[in-house]
Structure 1
Amino acid sequence: MPRSQAKYPGASNTQNPEAGLEISLDTAEELVALQLGMFVDVRQTLEGELEGEIPGALSIPLFQVKTLLGQPLSEEEQEILDMDVPDEADIQSFLSRINHLHFGSSLLLFCICNSGQRSLHAARLFRNLGYVRTYSVRGGFRAWRGARERKHPA
């Protein structure tokens, strides 16, 4: 398969820096249903509480991930996060959970945020850490909620 082609149907095939990082919601849902992948919700906890949660998704807010890994947050991110520096137990717990999913269970990780922008950053971050089977769900939670509303109109 040529390098520019994506490995999974629905994954990006374009010649841009994000090529191969995005996957369509339909493809991600199909792989989750086949127990080959798992959604990783990188939205802030409050967003999940207000907007709704994805059943079965692992919630790991991106700003907390960045803090756990010692990456600097912008002033805006720090204000949104408004938390202390994590301790070693937090870091070990985070790495243990991700290692188990990615390496122990061989699951694909599908990062999802509200619109698909933070999840791109999260997918790139996870890949840089060696979790190469990580993707960003195109359209994010908005696409997921829209698909639910189309399937089950009010």
Structure 2
Amino acid sequence: MGELLQFLQAQWMLVLSAIVVLVLLLRGPLSRRIAGIEEVDPSAAVHLINHEDAVIIDVREQEEWSRGHLPNARHIPLGDLSKYVKDLERHRGHHVICQCASGMRSARAAALLKKAGFDKIYSLKGGIHAWRGAGLPVEK
């Protein structure tokens, strides 16, 4: 035990760095679980779109949207989403899939909508990158 304590004292910066990296790595997945946000992969999203009439909300910026987006998606940048919650009320009973480039912003958008009372809310895991990777169509 004494050797471990000496090592920790001598290598305190290394230990602190390892702790910081671990916290950063776990921060994203844990925060999504804590917020109760379910991620769906592209195939599950297609099922929700085709069989459950899911609504897609693309929370990317305009220039990202212009390069291609999911068919029939509604474009509401993340920074503007809180202004449009009332407009989305008619979709409260529907499945709503938030989507961005990689899944980080969409998780935040889904958490915002969940807090606003939307129950069937999802984040597209991997975002449009995963969607394209699965060979699914995009519109411009």
The answer as to 2:81 corresponding to 1:65 is yes
- Provide TM-score, normalisation by structure 2: 0.68
Unmatched segments (≥5 aa) in structure 1: 1-14, 69-93
Aligned position for 1:36: 53
How far, CA to CA, are the matches of 2:85 and 2:81 in structure 1? Answer: 10
Cα RMSD after superposing both structures = 2.0
TM-superposed deviation, 1:49: 0.6
- After TM superposition, the score normalised by the length of structure 1 is 0.62
Return the index of the structure with the highest Cα Rg. Answer: 2
Alignment of 1:4-153 (within 5 A): 16-19=30-33, 20-21=36-37, 22-50=39-67, 52-66=68-82, 68=83, 94-102=84-92, 106-148=93-135
Q: CA deviation at 1:96?
A: 4.0
Q: How many residues are aligned here? A: 106
C-alpha distance in 2 between matches for 1:17 and 1:41: 21
* Higher relative contact order, chain-length normalized (CA < 8 Å, sep 6+): 2
Q: Return the alpha-carbon distance in structure 2 between the equivalents of residues 132 and 36 of structure 1.
A: 15
Name the aligned partner's letter for residue 87 of structure 2: R
Secondary structure in 1 aligned to 2:135?
helix
| Structure 2: unaligned runs, 5 residues or longer | 1-28
Shift of 1:100: 0.8
Q: Percent identity?
A: 31
Runs of 4+ in 1 over 6 A off after TM superposition: none
Give the structure with the larger helix fraction: 2
The separation in 2 between residues aligned to 1:62 and 1:95, in whole angstroms, is 11
C-alpha contact 2:52 2:95 (8 A) present in aligned 1? no
